[in-house]
Amino acid sequence: MSPEERRRNMMKAVVASTVGTAIEWYDYFLFGTAGALVFAKLFFPKSDQLAGTLNVYVIFFAGFLARPIGAWLFGTYGDRIGRKATLIATLLFMGVATFLIGLMPTYSTLGLWAAVLLVVLRVCQGIGVGGEWGGSVLMAMEWGSQKRKGWLGSWPQFGVPIGLVLSNGIVALTVTLAGPAAFQSWAWRIPFLLSIILVAVGLYIRLGIVETPVFQALLNERRIERAPVREVFRRNWREIILSALLRLPEQAPFYLFTVFVFTFGAAATKLDKSFLTWAVSIAGLVSFISIPLFGHLSDVIGRKTVYMLGIAVMAVWGFVYFGLFAAAVPVVVFIVIAVSLLPHDMQYGPQASLIAESFTGRLRYSGASLGYQLASIIAGGPAPYVATGLWAGKFDILGLSFASPFPAKNPYTISVYILICCVIGFLAVVALRDRSAFDHTVEYEEQEPMEAEGLRRRAMG
């Protein structure tokens, strides 16, 4: 393959990964936005507002519980049949589930069975996005050069703010045009139904890409693992656990700043929902620049360096964010929300390559996906629920209430929650072995003896 042809295929892979990931995250975030705005009244109308919101966040969490299942299922196929075919399957899985949410009945028609159906479709969303991330990152990174892994790996991450802006922007536009009453009644379905159009676009783009040269070489050399998930757990269990833990200071705050923000804004500041939705959309636009910027910076000064700086900033930012937000000055709140994702982006930009390069090629889809998605159980999934309970002073799940050990209505208890996530994540990054110098196109066991020899020679002077 000529350099020009390889470059052309690389660009197509990056575009396909970014667009497809943006569509998947549009679908996934849409549930969180609609859930925070209207689902409590639609699916739990007999509960008070707090109990209904907490129950919706439990269903929101169900999608995160399903993400490791998607990582296991699609990671297996991604390492056995290829990145391209698996990415097409994840897009279809997610798209159909999201479209069906737009058609489903609510409590007024089915009673509590409507909430059960919502859980099923949310789980399907989680399975779809659980298999999406790993394939998108590898599709972009494995077509690229050794020196640009951080920058190329950041482009599928770039799909996250695109999905965030699309979901919040379309919801805000729908609320503005239809009005709050119509949105509550029927117009909430429109953003979910529109997802089928985006899925069609994503499929068209992904069908035109070529399989990555890394996987094609593994196929030609007959080095495909028959049970990649089992093998990666045997060989790289430590990297999987550390990959999940290092995501705590990135993923938990992200869902506080993009989902819990609506609950906190309504409870603590009484600000208009459309105001908050537009502010979160601006935060996503800022990430358009910051995510690839920090991905590129990780190629220059090191992935772990940039990542640990991001964690340190997040540890402080949690207190600044909630302190200024609770002041309830509209202009200040808008600015705080607009820049809220910058500490997240310092981690998210280099994160894809930091995790993916920790695994050798034939196990990379499974290992990276599992490490990334296991964080959803301990970080992103419970974050809005934990924050809501800390703010309210109690936790309510399916009618059972538990008192919080901390005083209610104190936003800094949520800041302490972020700080704890940062401490754990920082230690995980320190403990993770830096494999950024490894050639991602060559199996790692072929490089490790050379690395050991190089270290021995340097030690001998």
| pLDDT value, residue 71 | 92
Report how many domains make up the chain. Answer: 1
Residue 213 in any domain: the answer is no
Residue 354 in any domain: the answer is yes
The two tokens of residue 211 are: 């399989």
In 10 A of CB 452, how many CB atoms?
Answer: 10
| pLDDT value, residue 459 | 46
Burial class (CB in 10 A: 0-12, 13-18, 19+), 158: buried
Rounded to 5°, angle at Cα 371 from 365 and 373: 90
Residue 220 in any domain: the answer is no
Cα–Cα distance measured from residue 266 to residue 215, given in angstroms and rounded to the nearest whole number:
49
| pLDDT value, residue 53 | 81
Q: Tell me the longest C-alpha to C-alpha distance in the chain.
A: 77
From residue 184, give the alpha-carbon distance in Å to each of 39, 148, 171, 271.
9, 46, 12, 18
Which of 408, 445, 385, 438 minimizes the C-alpha distance to 35?
385
* Per-position pLDDT tens, the chain of length 461: 677 888 888 888 888 888 888 888 888 788 888 887 888 889 998 888 778 887 888 888 888 899 999 999 999 999 999 989 998 998 898 889 999 999 999 999 999 899 999 999 999 998 988 888 888 888 888 887 778 888 888 888 888 888 888 888 898 889 889 988 899 899 999 999 998 998 898 889 888 888 888 888 988 888 898 899 999 999 999 999 999 999 999 999 999 998 889 888 877 787 887 788 889 889 989 999 999 999 999 999 999 999 999 999 999 999 999 999 988 899 999 999 999 999 999 999 999 999 999 999 899 999 999 999 999 899 988 898 899 888 888 877 656 677 777 888 898 999 999 999 999 999 999 999 988 888 888 888 877 665 544 544 554 55
| pLDDT value, residue 17 | 86
Identify the domain containing residue 421 by its residue range.
3-208+226-452
Residue 217 in any domain: the answer is no
The two tokens of residue 95 are: 């798209």
The two tokens of residue 349 are: 């930009």
Which DSSP symbol is given to 406? S
Burial class (CB in 10 A: 0-12, 13-18, 19+), 410: middle
The two tokens of residue 155 are: 């482009």
Beta bridge pairs of residue 401: 396
| pLDDT value, residue 397 | 65
CA dihedral 324, 327, 331, 335 (to 10 degrees): 20
The b/e string for 48-79 (b: 16+ C-beta within 10 A; e otherwise) is eebbbbbbbbbbbbbbbbbbbebbbbbbbbbb
Residue 216 in any domain: the answer is no
The two tokens of residue 49 are: 């507002």
Cα–Cα distance measured from residue 277 to residue 331, given in angstroms and rounded to the nearest whole number:
14
Residue 192 in any domain: the answer is yes
Question: HSE (CB half, 13 Å, CA atoms) of 376?
Answer: 25
pTM summary value = 0.86
Which DSSP symbol is given to 81? T
| pLDDT value, residue 454 | 53
Cα–Cα distance measured from residue 317 to residue 342, given in angstroms and rounded to the nearest whole number:
10
| pLDDT value, residue 449 | 65
The CATH number of the domain where 383 resides is what? 1.20.1250.20
Say if CB 335 and CB 278 are below 8 A apart.
no
| pLDDT value, residue 202 | 87
Query: From start to end of 100-212, where are the E strands?
Result: none
CA dihedral 433, 437, 440, 444 (to 10 degrees): -60
Which of 285, 5, 348, 434 minimizes the C-alpha distance to 156?
348
Residue 458 in any domain: the answer is no
Beta bridge pairs of residue 396: 401
Say if CB 124 and CB 145 are below 8 A apart.
no
The two tokens of residue 47 are: 């509960």
Residue 215 in any domain: the answer is no
> Could you give phi then psi for residue 111, rounded to 5 degrees?
70, -145
Cα–Cα distance measured from residue 208 to residue 221, given in angstroms and rounded to the nearest whole number:
25
DSSP 314-382: HHHHHHHHHHHHHT--HHHHHHHHHTTTHHHHHHHHHHHHHHHTTS-GGGHHHHHHHHHHHHHHHTTTT
| pLDDT value, residue 321 | 96
In 10 A of CB 118, how many CB atoms?
Answer: 24
Three-state secondary-structure class, residue 152: helix
Say if CB 298 and CB 307 are below 8 A apart.
yes
Catalogue the long-range contacts made by 193-196 (C-beta closer than 8 Å, 24 or more residues apart).
193/99, 193/102, 193/103, 194/170, 195/23, 195/26, 195/27, 195/30, 195/95, 195/98, 195/99, 195/102, 196/95, 196/99
Say if CB 273 and CB 179 are below 8 A apart.
no
